[in-house]
Structure 1
């Protein structure tokens, strides 16, 4: 079963979430969270930090990731690990895989004409909102 990760990175003030505009399929043209494949014999957390660095230039020293939840898709034979973190300081984001930007949190993240993931992004944000004090650590 192929593993993937998705990374919810909040700015230090917790009023913006790092998003990307997808430049290729799946979800070409839609906004999404950053993430990628978990390589064989790679731990989920190691893959999360590696993908974060590759796609955004955010390092392990800039953010502490917390494993929030997983999604398992039996028909597609894959799973997605969801990690969340709050930046410890302002950082310069840079990546060439997708167009990166900071999104305000007052968006309708359930709008499938704008956001990838069939509503999962909205669901994940609501989970973070419910348990923010337990998971968003410095």
Structure 2
């Protein structure tokens, strides 16, 4: 089963998300998150940091990634590991695989005419919003009452 990663990179203020405009299929012309293939024998987290640097120039010392969720696609024989992190400081991003840009967060990320992933980007953003404290201050505070 082939593994992929999907990387949600927020700016230091957590009000913008790094996106790319796909230059090739699948999803050519649509906005997507950065990511790529996990190499055989490579730990998922290692692959996430490797792909992040390859595609954007962001290095491990610039960000702490958190493993947020996974998607497993049995019919396509693949899985996607989703990571999210907040930059420690502003950085210049650069890459030649896709057109990189910073997106405000007030868009409809479920709009499949604009965003890749069949609505998954919207779902992932909502999951990060539910655990925002993890990215903002590194804590793992639960928002669910334990009464």
Fold match by TM threshold 0.5: yes
Aligned residues between the structures: 138
Query: Where in structure 1 do 4 or more consecutive aligned residues deviate above 2 Å?
Result: 134-138
Deviations 1:91-116 (A, max 9, x none): 00000000000000000000000000
Query: What is the CA–CA distance in structure 1 between the aligned matches of 2:76 and 2:37, rounded to whole Å?
Result: 14
Query: What is the CA–CA distance in structure 2 between the aligned matches of 1:136 and 1:30, rounded to whole Å?
Result: 28
Going from structure 1 to structure 2, the CA distance change for 1:137 and 1:34 (only over 3 Å counts) comes to: farther
Query: What is the CA–CA distance in structure 2 between the aligned matches of 1:136 and 1:117, rounded to whole Å?
Result: 26
Question: Can you give the 5+ residue segments of structure 1 that lack an aligned partner in the other structure?
Answer: none
- Give the structure with higher Rg (CA): 2
**Are the equivalent residues in 1 in contact too, given 2:69–2:83 (CA < 8 A)?**
yes
User: Aligned runs of 1:26-37 on 2, under 5 Å?
Assistant: 26-37=26-37
Query: What is the CA–CA distance in structure 2 between the aligned matches of 1:6 and 1:17, rounded to whole Å?
Result: 13
Deviations 1:49-102 (A, max 9, x none): 000000000000000000000000000000000000000000000000000000
**Are the equivalent residues in 1 in contact too, given 2:86–2:135 (CA < 8 A)?**
no
Residue of structure 2 equivalent to 1:91: 91
Question: Can you give the 5+ residue segments of structure 2 that lack an aligned partner in the other structure?
Answer: 139-147
Give the TM-score taking structure 1 as reference length.
Answer: 0.98
